[in-house]
Amino acid sequence: MNNELLSKLKELNPVEKKQYNEQLFINDFNDKTLLHASDKKFVPIFTEEFFKGKNIYVSKHNRFAPYPKHTHTFLEMNYMVSGSAKEKVNGHTIYLNQGDILLLGVGTTHSIATLGKDDILINIIFRNNISFSLENLRIIGKTKNVLSSFILANDNSHDFMIYRKKHTESSIRQIANLIIEEYYFDKNFSDKLIDSYLNSLLILLSRNTNIHSDKILKENTPDIILYILKEISANSANISLSYIAKKTNYSRSYLGNLFKKTVGKSFSDALTEQRLLDAYNLLNSTNLSISDIIQKVGISNKTFFYQKFKNKFNCLPSEIRYF
């Protein structure tokens, strides 16, 4: 991040000074738009009226006091620029470290523990009229490969997503930094640049969606099954269950039964699905003939390919290039 902006973010604002001195949360609810309720114990619901015509709203989370439980009618990104944070999200305890990103869906309830002087947490809030949603990220992520589909289908964190720095591309944070810098410095054409960066951020998050969560199924999924899924995703044209069995010293029948029990489909079906995804991507990104693509993805029977492709994508391969 720009050093000038980082220094500015580390300065104490008036609310932080007061929270630091009093060691108490200074209620800022009235500075934001709320859906009010007569019940004093209600969870505050922030609405999106404070965007003031922009597609996003960016703010630094105030330090030195815990922020109470609340929810909102928009998608929110918590980006840990420096330091660390502890959040409670729909009853789950989440720890964020420098470079981590937490996406919170509409209606998600969360609270944030006290941040220290070196803990800079940036909130980026997205209007609901842009194509930013957890569902969009999941849909795009599922088209990547069978491993992505399996992880997303079995991921229980439907209301939030975590993108860990060590598991995701650095370009995600580079784009997030650019968005924050344009927002704070507000130069000529900043709004147009921010809109452009938002599209890039959506694509990057989608590309990294399959590795977003702390719940990457390691607790409930045998390592050998994750290994097979990765092999299918990386080497679908040449892989076979017999090859994997020989390589891992397991019997072919044992691996086949365990795979179907864990994944919910046979190894053969998963392999075909990956090959169809590869073919779909090649149709969109190359000028290869359909015959060459069928051969390249590892399918030998053209009739079988056309039938499975139509069943999966509801169109013929030749129609893809006319969309």
pLDDT at 216 over 50: no
Percent of the chain with pLDDT over 70: 78
pLDDT, tens digit, 9 for 90 and up, residues 154-182 = 444 457 888 888 878 899 999 999 999 99
Let me know: does 165 contact 81? Beta carbons within 8 Å: no
* Residue 110 phi, psi (nearest 5): -150, 160
* The pLDDT value given to residue 157: 47
pLDDT band at 186 (very low <50, low <70, confident <90, very high): confident
Per-domain residue ranges for the chain? 3-211, 223-320
Q: Which fold has domain 223-320?
A: Arc Repressor Mutant, subunit A (1.10.10)
pLDDT at 152 over 60: no
pLDDT, tens digit, 9 for 90 and up, residues 41-55 = 555 555 555 566 677
pLDDT at 217 over 80: no
CA torsion sign for 149, 155, 161, 164 is negative
* The pLDDT value given to residue 37: 43
CA distance 285 to 132: 24
pLDDT band at 150 (very low <50, low <70, confident <90, very high): low
Q: Which fold has domain 3-211?
A: Jelly Rolls (2.60.120)
pTM for the full model? 0.61
